[in-house]
Structure 1
Amino acid sequence: MEGLFLPTDENAYYFSRSDDTELLGTYYPLSFTLEGVEWPTVEHYFQAMKFEDSQYREKIRAATSPKQARKLGRNRFKRPRPDWKSIRTTIMTRAVYTRCKTHTQAYQALMDTDAKKIVESSSYDYFWGCGRDRLGHNHYGVILTKVRDKLREEEKASQ
C-alpha cells in the first residue's frame, strides 16, 4: 500500500450506487414489483422497507426521485423498524435480484461484470461501499456478486 489509500484493483468493477445512469446502481430507473407493489427504483424499495408504517412506506414509494426517497428514508424524526440493521442486506438483495429478473438490461449489466470483484466506490459509505481508503465492507458489491452467482446457477440449471 502506497500512501494513505489502497490502489484500485484492476480486476474490479467500480461504480457509484447513487449514479442514476449506472444500471447496477440503486437509483437507476427500472421499476419492479415486490410486496405486491410496483417500485420505481431499488432505492425507493430499500428506503421504504426501513419502516413498518404502511402510509410512510407509500409516501417513500411515491417519491418523485430516488434522491427524495433516500431523504425520506433518512428522516431523523421517523424511527426505522427495530430489526432494520439485521435485515437491511436481505432487503437490498431481494430488490437487486428482483430487478435483474424483471429487466434484461439489468441482468445483462450484472453478467457483463464477468468474474470481476464488484465495488461500490463511495468515499463516505463504509457499510455499503469501500470508503475513501477502500477498506470498507462493500456490502452492496458483495450483494451484486451473490446475485450474479445465483443468476449464473439458475442459468446453468435451465440448460
Structure 2
Amino acid sequence: MAHAPIYFYDLDEPYGEFSNFYAAPIELDGYIWPTSEHYFQAQKFIFHERHFKHILKLATPREIFDYAQAHKSLVRPDWPDIKDEVMYKACKAKFTQHWKLKRLLLSTGHRTLVEHTKNDSYWGDGGDGTGKNQLGTTLMHIKGVFDRLNNLIHQIQFDQTQRQHYKFDEPLSIGIFNLNAREEGQSSTKLNDEFIHYQLLIDCILQMESSSNEKQELIALFKQQYKNNPIELKLLKNLKMAIHQIDQYGGIQDNHLFIDY
C-alpha cells in the first residue's frame, strides 16, 4: 500500500539499509567509521580514549554493541541527554555521503518508517508498536531535510532561469565584500559569476517558511557539498551568522544584506 508504514530491521530484508548495522562507511569527526553504529557507540566513550579507539577497530556492529553493553559503567554521564543528537548526526552523515541510500530514503515518500524489533523499545517500536521508534523518527526528519533541500535547489534553478529569461531585478540587494581587501571598500563584483549560485541560495533561504534550525541544517548540507571550496565555506559560515541575526531581529535593515568573505 502506498501509505502503509515501512518496517525495517534485518539487513537481508527490504529497507535493511536503514539499519545502523548496514555497512555504509561514514567520514565524521576526523575518522572513517565502518557503520553508523560504530560512530554512535563510540561516542558513549568519548572521555575514554582506549575504549573509543577500540570500538573503531572492531569488525562488526554486533561486536561493538556487545562491547558497549559490557562497559556500561564507563558511558559518559550526559549520554541520555545527547544520544538523540548523536544518532541524528550519524544517520545524516550516512545518508548524505551515500547517494544510493539517500535516494532510497527519499523514495519512501510520506510513509512512516519504523524500526520493528522487540529488542529495543526506544530506537525501535518494541515489536508491538508501543516503543518510541526514535530511529524511524530520526530518519523521517532527515528525509524532510533532504526534501526541503531538493525543493530549494529546484527553486534556485527555476529562479535563475526566470531571471535570465525575463531579466528580473533582485528582490534583495546582496553585497559581497572582502573587508580585508587592500583597497578600502573593494567589492567582489568581478567574481559575481562565481557567487551567483550562492546569491540565489541566500534569496531562497531567506524566503523559506522554515524554522531557523531547518535553515541551519540546509546550510550544513551545502557545507558538505562545498567542503573542498574554502571560499564557499566561508560564505556559508557568514550566511549562518546572518540568518541568526535575521531571526533574532526579525528582518533585514533597508532590505540589504552584506556578507564578508
TM-score clears 0.5: yes
Unaligned 5+ residue runs, structure 1?
1-9
Name the CA distance, whole Å, in 2 between partners of 1:54 and 1:35.
14
Q: What is the TM-score when the length of structure 2 is the normalising length?
A: 0.55
Question: Alignment length, in residue pairs?
Answer: 148
Identity rate, percent = 27
Structure number with the bigger relative contact order (C-alpha 8 A, sep ≥ 6) is 1
Code of the residue aligned with 2:144 in structure 1: it is D
Runs of 4+ in 1 over 2 A off after TM superposition: none
Residue 34 of structure 1: aligned partner: 28
Residue 25 (structure 1) aligns with: 19
> Does the C-alpha gap of structure 1 residues 34 and 134 become closer, same or farther in structure 2, counting only changes over 3 Å?
same
Cα distance in 2 for partners of 1:145, 1:77 equals 29
TM-superposed deviation, 1:76: 3.6
Contact 1:20 1:29 in 2 (8 A): no
Aligned-residue CA RMSD (Å): 1.3
Q: Which of 38, 42, 61 is the equivalent residue of 1:44?
A: 38
Corresponding residue for 1:158? 153
Structure 1's 115 and 53: CA in aligned 2 closer, same or farther, altered over 3 A? same
How far residue 49 of structure 1 moved from its aligned partner, in angstroms, is 0.5
User: CA, structure 1 residues 139+77, in 2 after alignment: closer, same or farther (shift >3 Å)?
Assistant: closer
Letter in 2 for 1:32: I
The residue identity in structure 2 corresponding to 1:90 is E
SS in 2 for 1:28: coil
Q: 2:68 aligns with which of 52, 67, 73?
A: 73
Q: How far off its partner does 1:77 sit?
A: 5.7
Larger relative helix fraction: 2
Ranges in structure 2 where 5+ consecutive residues have no aligned partner: 155-261
Q: CA separation in 2, counterparts of 1:84 and 1:128?
A: 14
Q: Matched residues in 2 for 1:66 and 1:20: separation? A: 12
Q: CA deviation at 1:78?
A: 4.2
Structure 1, residues 113-152: CA drift from partner, whole Å, max 9, x if none? 1110000001131101111321111000100100100111
Distance of 1:90 and 1:100 partners within structure 2: 16
**TM-score, normalisation: structure 1:** 0.88
Partner of residue 121, structure 2 = 126
Structural mapping, 1:37-116, within 5 Å:
37-51=31-45, 52-76=47-71, 78-116=73-111
